[in-house]
C-alpha cells in the first residue's frame, strides 16, 4: 500500500545529510501527494483548490523546518501524514471550519493519489518576507533565493556562518508563523 | 506564490541535520531541568541533615528509585511523542508502572503495620511542604522541557503537555527527595505520586496553548 515509501525515505535521508537535489526531489514528490490529499480533504468542507495550495505550502514548509524530528529508523510516510493532518486541522481551526473526523491511522491515504497540477497559492512570498526582521529577510534572500552559500552570505553582511544558519532557520519558521497569521484574518 | 518556487527556495543550500537531535535535546532539557531543580531545593530548603543513618539512606534511595525510574521512562516516551505521529507509536500505560509499583508497596507496608501508625505513615510531618514544593520546583524543569519540545513537532499537544508536566514533576520530586525527611512508603506514594499527577494534569491543560506550531 505504501509503495512510494522506499524512494521517499531514500530522498529524505539524503536530504538530511545535506543533499539539496534529493531534498528538492522529495519536496516535489511529496507536493504531488499533499496536493491530492489537501484537495480531497478540503473539498469535503467545500473549500477551493487555491485554499488547498495554501495548505500544501504550509505543510511543505513545516516538513522542511521540522525535518530534524524525523526518526530515520521509522518509515517516512506516517511522519509526513501526521504533519499534513496536524496542519490540516490547524488550518481549518484558524479559518473557522471544523472537520471532525480525520483518522490518524489512515496513513495510506496520504500517498493514495498524486496531483501535480498546481495552482498558485494566495500567499505572497514578497509580502511574507517583508514581515520578517530586516537582517533575517536579507539572509533568507541571499541563502534561499539567490543561492549564495552560507559563507558568502556571512562575509557579505559581516556575520558568522553559524549566525547565518540560525537566521535562515528562524526566518523559515517565522515565515510559517506569518502564513498562519495571514490566514487568521 | 507557486509551490515550485517555494520548493526551489527550501531546496537551496540544504543544511545537514543532526539525526540524533531529538534525543540530545530531550536529554539536555532534562539534565538542565534537574540541575535547576536541585539548585532550587538547596537554596530554598537544604539537604536533609540525617543522611549519616542507614535508615535515612535507604529511604532516600527508594524515593530516588521511584522518581528516577519515572523520569527515565517518561523521557524515552517524550522522544517519541515530540515527533509528528508519535502518539501512534507509544502506549502511555507504561507510565503508570512506577506509580502502580509504589502504590502496591505502600499498601503492603500499611497492611503489615499496626493501624495506629497508619495516620503518621500516610500524613507524615511535612505533607504540606511536599505538596507545595514539588509543583513549585517543577515550574523550572517544565519551562525548560516545553522550550525544547517547542523546537520539535508534537501532534498530540494535550498528551505531550501532560507528559512534559509528568517529567517536570518527577524531576522536581527527585530534587525534593534530598530534602524530605518523611520516610514512609505510603507518604511517598500519596504525596510524591499525587503531586506528580497534579503536575501532569497542569501540563495537559497547558500543552495545547504552549506547544502549537
Ordered per-residue pLDDT tens for chain B, 213 residues: 888 999 999 999 899 999 999 999 999 999 999 999 999 999 999 888 887 888 888 889 999 999 999 999 999 999 999 999 998 888 888 889 999 999 999 999 999 988 888 888 888 888 999 999 999 999 999 999 999 999 999 999 999 999 999 999 999 999 999 998 888 899 999 999 999 999 999 999 999 999 999
Size of interface A-B (CB pairs under 8 A): 128
Domain final residue, candidates A111, A140, A157: A111
Judged by CB atoms closer than 8 Å, whether chains meet at A35 and B152 is answered as no
Q: d(Cα A136, Cα B3) in Å, to the nearest integer?
A: 22
Judged by CB atoms closer than 8 Å, whether chains meet at B15 and A67 is answered as no
- Looking at the fold, whether A104 and A133 belong to one and the same domain comes out as no
Determine the structural domain holding residue A104 and report its residue range: 5-111
Judged by CB atoms closer than 8 Å, whether chains meet at A24 and B153 is answered as no
Q: Which residue has the higher pLDDT, B168 or A101?
A: B168
- Looking at the fold, whether A89 and A133 belong to one and the same domain comes out as no
3-state class (DSSP) for residue B181: coil
Give the DSSP H or E segment for A26: helix A20-43
- Looking at the fold, whether A80 and A152 belong to one and the same domain comes out as no
Q: d(Cα B138, Cα B170) in Å, to the nearest integer?
A: 8
Q: Which of B84, B43, B40, B54 is nearest to A86 (CA)?
A: B84
Q: Pick from B5, B11, B15: which is nearest to A165 by CB?
A: B15
pLDDT, average across residues A31-40: 94
Angle at the Cα of A119 (from A113 to A124), degrees rounded to 5? 130
How many Cβ atoms from other residues are within 10 Å of residue A113's Cβ?
13
Q: Which residue has the higher pLDDT, A106 or A165?
A: A165
How many Cβ atoms from other residues are within 10 Å of residue A82's Cβ?
24
Task: With cut-offs at 50, 70 and 90, classify the pLDDT of residue A1.
Answer: very low
Q: Which of A109, A89, A87, A76 is nearest to A6 (CA)?
A: A76
Q: Residue A116 falls within a domain, yes or no?
A: no
Distance from CA of B210 to the nearest CA of A (A): 14
ipTM of the complex model: 0.90
Q: d(Cα B78, Cα B98) in Å, to the nearest integer?
A: 17
Q: Give whichever of A2-16, A83-97, A127-141, B16-30 has the largest mean pLDDT.
A: B16-30
Q: Taking CB atoms and an 8 Å cutoff, what residues of chain B touch A82?
A: 84-86, 88, 155
Q: Pick from B4, B9, B82: which is nearest to A144 by CB?
A: B9
Domain final residue, candidates A111, A135, A151: A111
- Looking at the fold, whether A25 and A107 belong to one and the same domain comes out as yes
Domain final residue, candidates A47, A78, A111: A111
- Looking at the fold, whether A18 and A95 belong to one and the same domain comes out as yes
| Cell, residue B165 | 508536566
- Looking at the fold, whether A107 and A129 belong to one and the same domain comes out as no
Task: With cut-offs at 50, 70 and 90, classify the pLDDT of residue A104.
Answer: confident
Q: Structure pTM?
A: 0.89
- Looking at the fold, whether A23 and A101 belong to one and the same domain comes out as yes
Q: Taking CB atoms and an 8 Å cutoff, what residues of chain A touch B80?
A: 71
Q: Residue A118 falls within a domain, yes or no?
A: no
Burial class (CB within 10 angstroms; exposed 0-12, middle 13-18, buried 19+) of B181 = middle
- Domain with residue A15: its CATH number is 1.10.1740
Query: CA-nearest residue of chain B to A105?
Result: B88
CB of B94 within 8 A of CB of B163?
no
Amino acid at each position: 500500500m505504501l509503495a512510494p515509501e522506499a524512494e521517499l525515505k531514500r530522498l529524505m535521508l539524503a536530504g538530511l545529510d545535506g543533499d539539496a537535489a534529493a531534498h528538492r526531489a522529495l519536496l516535489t514528490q511529496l507536493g504531488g501527494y499533499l496536493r491530492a490529499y489537501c484537495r480531497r480533504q478540503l473539498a469535503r468542507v467545500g473549500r477551493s483548490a487555491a485554499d488547498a495550495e495554501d495548505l500544501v505550502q504550509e505543510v511543505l514548509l513545516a516538513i522542511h523546518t521540522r525535518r530534524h524530528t524525523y526518526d530515520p529508523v521509522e518509515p517516512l510516510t506516517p511522519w509526513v501524514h501526521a504533519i499534513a493532518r496536524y496542519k490540516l486541522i490547524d488550518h481549518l481551526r484558524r479559518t473557522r471550519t471544523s472537520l471532525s473526523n480525520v483518522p490518524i491511522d489512515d496513513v495510506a491515504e496520504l500517498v493514495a493519489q498524486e496531483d501535480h497540477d498546481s495552482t498558485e497559492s494566495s500567499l505572497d512570498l514578497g509580502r511574507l518576507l517583508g514581515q520578517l526582521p530586516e537582517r533575517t529577510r536579507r539572509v533568507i534572500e541571499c541563502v534561499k533565493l539567490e543561492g549564495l552559500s552560507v559563507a558568502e552570505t556571512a562575509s557579505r553582511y559581516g556575520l558568522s556562518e553559524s549566525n547565518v544558519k540560525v537566521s535562515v532557520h528562524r526566518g523559515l519558521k517565522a515565515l510559517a508563523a506569518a502564513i498562519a497569521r495571514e490566514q487568521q484574518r | 506564490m507557486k509551490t515550485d518556487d517555494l520548493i526551489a527556495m527550501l531546496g537551496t543550500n540544504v543544511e545537514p541535520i543532526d539525526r540524533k537531535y531529538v534525543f540530545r535535546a530531550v536529554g539536555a532539557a532534562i539534565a538542565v531541568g534537574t540541575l535547576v531543580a536541585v539548585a532550587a531545593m538547596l537554596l530554598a530548603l537544604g539537604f536533609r541533615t540525617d543522611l549519616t543513618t542507614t535508615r535515612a539512606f535507604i529511604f532516600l534511595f527508594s524515593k530516588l528509585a521511584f522518581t528516577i525510574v519515572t523520569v527515565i521512562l517518561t523521557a524515552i516516551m517524550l522522544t517519541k511523542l515530540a515527533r509528528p505521529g508519535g502518539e501512534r507509536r507509544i502506549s502511555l500505560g507504561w507510565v503508570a508502572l512506577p506509580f502502580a509499583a509504589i502504590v502496591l508497596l505502600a499498601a503492603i507496608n500499611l497492611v503489615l503495620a499496626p493501624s495506629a501508625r497508619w495516620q503518621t505513615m500516610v500524613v507524615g510531618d511535612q505533607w504540606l511542604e511536599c505538596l507545595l514544593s514539588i509543583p513549585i520546583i517543577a515550574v523550572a524543569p517544565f519551562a525548560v522541557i516545553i522550550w525544547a519540545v517547542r523546537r520539535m513537532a508534537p501532534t498530540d499537544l494535550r498528551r505531550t503537555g501532560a507528559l512534559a508536566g509528568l517529567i517536570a514533576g518527577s524531576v522536581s520530586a527527585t530534587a525534593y527527595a534530598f530534602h524530605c525527611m518523611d520516610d514512609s512508603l505510603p507518604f511517598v506514594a500519596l504525596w510524591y505520586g499525587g503531586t506528580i499527577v497534579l503536575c501532569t494534569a497542569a501540563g495537559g491543560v497547558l500543552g495545547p496553548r504552549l506547544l502549537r506550531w
